Amino acid sequence: MALYLSRLELKARVHAGKEVEQWLGHADEGEYTVIKWLYIAPAEGHQYSVTYLESFDEGDAEWQLVPEFSLLDPDADESAVFDSVEEAVAYAVQTYGALPDRFIPGGMLAEEYARYWQSKNASAK
């Protein structure tokens, strides 16, 4: 189970130079499934970036590193920069439907994907 960060922990992690991530779900597109997620990270000059990504669902029981999945559109650059972590979180919530209490430490997205993968494959049986 993923460790969801409090708002204070989220802010502290990003100020300490670490990313936070959020699983936003998936969408079935007929022949393939799209995985959606975003991350907030420190940017140049005491700013903070929000980056939204979509990739093909290429995972299986052994391979669940979502950031290594093929991007749906490798040329898409859906990122924005803000002066505060609070502004970055507010943007993620308003623009992408992120939930303020569902951010996880960077590098833990595979755990969120594993839960999704297990539930999807359990319902397919």
Q: Closest Cα to residue 39, out of 91, 117, 114?
A: 91
The H helix count followed by the E strand count for the chain is 3, 5
pTM: 0.90
Average pLDDT for 104-110: 93
CA 97 to chain centre: 11
Q: What is the pLDDT of residue 120?
A: 79
Single-letter amino acid code for the residue at 81:
V
Nearest CA among 104, 123, 120 for reference residue 1: 104
